[in-house]
Amino acid sequence: MSFKLSLNDEKIKEFQTLTTIDAHTEGEPLRIILDGYPEVPGTNILAKRRCLQSELDHLRQVLMYEPRGHADMYGALLTEPTTEGSDFGILFMHNEGYSSMCGHGIIAAVTMAAEYANLEVLVGQRRTVGIDAPAGKITAYAERSESGELAVSFDNVESFVEVCDRKVHVPGFGELQYDIAYGGAYYAYVDADAIDVDCSPNNSEQLIQLGRSIKHAVMADYPLVHPTEEDLGFLYGTIFTSKKTDEEDSHSRHVCIFADGEVDRSPTGTGVSARIALLHHRGEVSSQERIKIESIIGSSMQVEIASQLDFEGKPAVIPRVFGTAFITGVNQFLIDSNDPLKHGFLIR
């Protein structure tokens, strides 16, 4: 018989505690905070995001950084809704700070709420879920089949093309061509096949280094201003696209390098949203066409255009994104005030 530790519950109660449910969407992690945060003030979700940035960032570091997290960890804090008709608000976090929108996070949060919490989705029912995200109102759909299986999708915010076929010099690499499109966050899109860059896990080091260099070069070359919200006017990452896929029915592959060199294990929900806006703008995808886009690890999301509209003078689409999420654990993290590394650290 193996030796078993018996925890001293009274001693454990002495520490500050953060409780999470952990999941992944197509391989990309999401750590959803269940308990341990104070109430976040703010009359709207962007105000709450600013509060996290200025007042509670040490808790982001605790959960995203080592030793509890890692350089590619991703998290979400759910809040009370801030607009009429919404079910809850959501704030996203990562190794660098707080993103404006996250498609894999929406899919994971709705899945976890429906499968393991208090979001009831009956057999044969399709439930609409309103979510306040920093980029805007998200409409998600949770549908349970007659066999009990759950399918989750969401309609993203207005997604549009910012600029096409622009060239920039990237230090250490040379000149390359890029597009910028918005799908809840701004991305610079680069054709990896055209510059002979491999979009496989074996090439992650080059992808990270080049993705970061491209991001900084594009930021200097093309400053961004969002049409309605100053807080949303920033370049979130670089997405390498490739026609070299694992599955014949896949349209393409995405490798997204975002925040401070994070590698998205999924195709990126906001990334596929902006990409379908870009493809539609170029006439390469019809308004009725659903496409499958692979990730760096071969997992996939599907995306289609739910509707078209004008957004502040820009032709825009509402993308509908489909993906799957699974639970990986329920965790209770402790903060020892005497620990000199209590707020974590990162090594890339």
Residues with catalytic roles: 102
How far is it, in rounded angstroms, from Cα 226 to Cα 168? 21
Which residues are bridge partners to 254 per DSSP? 241
How far is it, in rounded angstroms, from Cα 60 to Cα 62? 5
Structure tokens belonging to residue 34: 């269940």
Between the CA of residue 308 and those of 65, 133, 157, 288, what are the distances in Å? 40, 21, 11, 11
Helix (H, G, I), strand (E, B) or coil at 48: helix
Which residues are bridge partners to 28 per DSSP? 25
Between the CA of residue 180 and those of 98, 172, 177, 187, 207, what are the distances in Å? 20, 22, 10, 6, 18
Structure tokens belonging to residue 157: 């915010």
CA-based max dimension of the chain: 71
Q: Compute how many other C-beta atoms are within 10 angstroms of the C-beta atom of residue 133.
A: 28
Q: Are 103 and 270 in contact (CB under 8 A)?
A: yes
